[in-house]
Structure 1
Amino acid sequence: MRLASEEDYICSLSWAKGGNYLAIGTSDCKVQLWDVYNWTRVHSLASHTSRVASLSWNDHVLTSGSRSGHIHHHDVRVADHHIFTLTGHSQEVCGLKWSPDGQYLASGGNDALIYVWPRMQEGTNSNSVQCWSDHQGAVKALAWCPWQSDILASGGGTSDRHIRIWNVNSGSCISSLDTQSQISSLLFSPNYKELVSAHGYAHNNVVIWKYPALTRVAELKGHEDRVLSLILNPDCSTIATVAGDDTICMWKSFEVDPVKKAKERLVKSTSSVIHQSIR
């Protein structure tokens, strides 16, 4: 894929539900929407004034966060796509995640703040329902619990390094854990009710934690630079990670049916390198 200008670069990615469309946030303040089957660009959404660092889908609404601190909702079905703006962050919005039921949007910023916003409805304002300032570093890693809709996990950057678990309804921090390493990405594994974290400086690893105890289950080592992001495959059995060492790793980590899991689970990389370079 080539963007409109070779001087522009990709800052964020987000798959639409169903996998037909891929949203791309770029350095030239645009959000591009691509049809992945025909590999054609179907929309270029202009509304931001600075790079688009984060994206998240909620049905037909695509939400984007920029370096300016603004969050925009786009209705991708209509030409006048920019339908709402959320303001709260004073620095770049580096993390965005809609809850699985589509009721709440969580945003994390370089200002070390987390906001939780209600789903936009006609006649409503842009007030957040929660704002948390416990982290001491940028908050890029956000994950909603798929089996408990009011639970949000967040991870702090190099100057913080903590995983924090929040109850959105009560506004309380349920638990906190110092991982001793920058946290770049989080996800919940529904098969085993565990939390997976990706790390940069200083460990460059992936860790699986039992939830809600946050006790360490397994550590996945193989990357030689910071792990930038992770994702689960559709049956939630395999973790894919991408890192600054220009490699993608696949980790066969969970049984599809947890009833069949062995007492001692061996977590290993099934394919340590897919591409020597992903650029």
Structure 2
Amino acid sequence: MFWSIDLNLLDWNSENLVAIGLKSAAYIWNGENNTVAQSILLQSPSTYVSSISWLSARTCLAIGTSNGEVQLWDIETQKRLRNMLGHMSVVGALSWNQHILSSGCRLGSIHHHDVRIAQHHIGTLRHKQGICSLKWSPSEKLLASGSSDGHLNIWPCDPASTKVNTPIQSIVNPTAVKICSILWLPDTRELVTGHGSPRNQMTVWQYPSLLKLNDVYGHRGRVLHLALSPDHKRIFSAAANETSFIWKYSK
């Protein structure tokens, strides 16, 4: 495995396809028959996949890379549709909001890309430390971002704003436990975050109060990746010690 604390290498779409990034390739696993359906190999073997995100139920997969690129791929034809530049470091997190793709890098910047136009970079947000996790809400009105210094920010949906953007809500972890992954639960007003040492737990937060509801334990390594099943009833979690769990979620 090639999983790091600030990489997001797992995503699950509504067609029950799971995309997993390993080194310089992305593998597509079919949840219906438990087989690897396709694989995508980056053109440069020295470049590794650093983040992955599906475009809704379609066959388009966004891939962030170690050299700062954001690539769009058609998994059926296994062809790269476009390559979007702008980041100066590893792209560790990606999240879609319709035609807007948001990407976060180790230098702390979040870029908004409008994939419909040639001049794709339409807005920027900033953390003081590297972006570890990024996720648009099911309503598409809020963006949650986690950084390596333990900050969880909630941003309004205004990708093309020319003003200096500030989060509308923030949680600052006083012990600077890194927030490795974020997941919105569309059937409840809740967020789930994956964490590192000392407890390697998943934490459930109520939204918009951001009150902690529960901690879920089981992993012995940093909870690096979270993905929600198409029926919203299962959570796939993967940790740094190369273990993966599927949790049954019910309100």
TM class by shorter chain equals 0.7 to 0.9
Residue 121 (structure 2) aligned to one of 121, 125, 128: 128
CA distance in 1, matches of 2:66, 2:11: 17
Q: Secondary structure at the match of 1:173?
A: coil
Shift in Å at residue 214 of structure 1? 0.8
- Structure 1 vs Structure 2: percent identity of aligned residues? 29
TM-score computed with the length of structure 1 as normaliser? 0.74
Inter-CA distance 247–43: structure 2 relative to 1 (3 Å threshold): closer
Residue 217 (structure 2) aligned to one of 221, 234, 251: 221
Q: Secondary structure at the match of 2:188?
A: coil
Inter-CA distance 71–216: structure 2 relative to 1 (3 Å threshold): same
Inter-CA distance 38–199: structure 2 relative to 1 (3 Å threshold): closer
Residue 137 (structure 1) aligned to one of 126, 129, 138: 129
- Specify the alignment match of 1:70 in structure 2: 69
Does the CA-based 8 Å contact 1:10-1:24 persist in structure 2?
Answer: no
Mark the structure with the bigger radius of gyration: 1
Shift in Å at residue 168 of structure 1? 2.5
Does 1:57 pair with 2:41? no
Residue 169 (structure 2) aligned to one of 167, 175, 191: 175
Shift in Å at residue 13 of structure 1? 3.5
- Specify the alignment match of 1:105 in structure 2: 101
Shift in Å at residue 117 of structure 1? 1.3
CA distance in 2, matches of 1:40, 1:254: 29
Q: Secondary structure at the match of 1:111?
A: coil
Shift in Å at residue 41 of structure 1? 5.2
Residue 25 (structure 2) aligned to one of 14, 26, 30: 30
Structure 1: unaligned runs, 5 residues or longer: 1-8, 256-279
Amino acid aligned to 1:129: I
Inter-CA distance 18–215: structure 2 relative to 1 (3 Å threshold): same
- Specify the alignment match of 2:6 in structure 1: none
Q: Secondary structure at the match of 2:167?
A: strand
- Specify the alignment match of 1:166 in structure 2: 155
Structure 2: unaligned runs, 5 residues or longer: 4-8
Q: Secondary structure at the match of 1:191?
A: coil
Inter-CA distance 248–89: structure 2 relative to 1 (3 Å threshold): same
Provide the aligned length of Structure 1 versus Structure 2: 235
CA RMSD after TM alignment: 2.6
- Specify the alignment match of 1:277 in structure 2: none
Amino acid aligned to 2:143: L
With a CA cutoff of 8 Å and minimum separation of 6, indicate the structure with the bigger relative contact order: 2
- Specify the alignment match of 1:153 in structure 2: 144
Q: Secondary structure at the match of 1:129?
A: strand
